A = this chain, B = another copy of it.
Amino acid sequence: MSKQISMPVIRRLPRYHRFLTELQDQGIERVSSNQLANIMRSTASQIRQDLNCFGGFGQQGYGYPVAQLRDQIGKILGIDQGFKAILLGAGNLGRAIATHMNFSRQGFELTAVFDKNEDVIGTMLRGITVMSDDNIESYIKDNRVDAAFLCLPKNSVKPLIDKLYSLGIKNFWNFSHYDIKNDYNDVIVENVHLSDSLMTLCYRINEQHTDN
């Protein structure tokens, strides 16, 4: 079923989940499509259409049950899966990501961290001892690894991607500017391109472009 959910709908799911979590924290038990539309800055009809994609929830006039809808979206997102992830790059950005993120709430467990910098290897990060890049291969052979988080400078990425791919790692959360999809077509990549985002802000300020 969920194979047919389009990427735009998928990209809205984390936001639904986030808002439903807030409603639940506030003790709110039911929410109407109008209320959801307000929070999501969407229309009630868009909300109904989205939620219909994964099974009919909500009763005309009664709204959606918050907890049930949140759990269902969580299941669709697969955040109960506990995917095992390794972090490549324990520089400023990698350390911040490792410290800042919850991971388990997003479906992942961070199990290992690698860097090539001698000054960083052996230091602790989120209770994990940073290992040398030289250990990546043996680690992956000995442990389940579902995804790699890449917080590397662009020019360090290519050889590591080739190594990871050859070891069967095909899922990436990519903060580098390296375009993995250009090398491998069967990988799953979520890119976080901070510079692109900031440049877009620059453009919009320059043009006073308030639409999103």
Contacts and interface: CB of A to CB of B under 8 A. Distances in A.
Interface of A: 2-3, 7, 10-11, 13-15, 17-18, 38-39, 41, 76-79, 81, 83, 91-93, 95-97, 99-103, 105-108, 146-147, 171, 173, 177, 179, 181-182, 185-190, 192-212
Given A102-B195, A195-B102, A200 B96 contact: no
Contacts of A182: 38-39, 41
A183 to B, nearest CB: 11
A202 B99 contact: no
A170 to B, nearest CB: 9
Specify how many copies of this chain sit in the oligomer.
Answer: 2
Contact of A100 (B77, B93, B187, B199): B93
A32 to B, nearest CB: 17
Contact of A92 (B11, B99, B199): B99
A197 B11 CA distance: 8
B14 A200 contact: yes
Contacts of A7: 209, 211-212
A38 to B, nearest CB: 8
Pairs of residues from A and B, 9 with the lowest C-beta to C-beta distance, nearest first? A78-B206, A96-B96, A107-B202, A14-B196, A14-B199, A106-B198, A190-B201, A92-B99, A92-B96
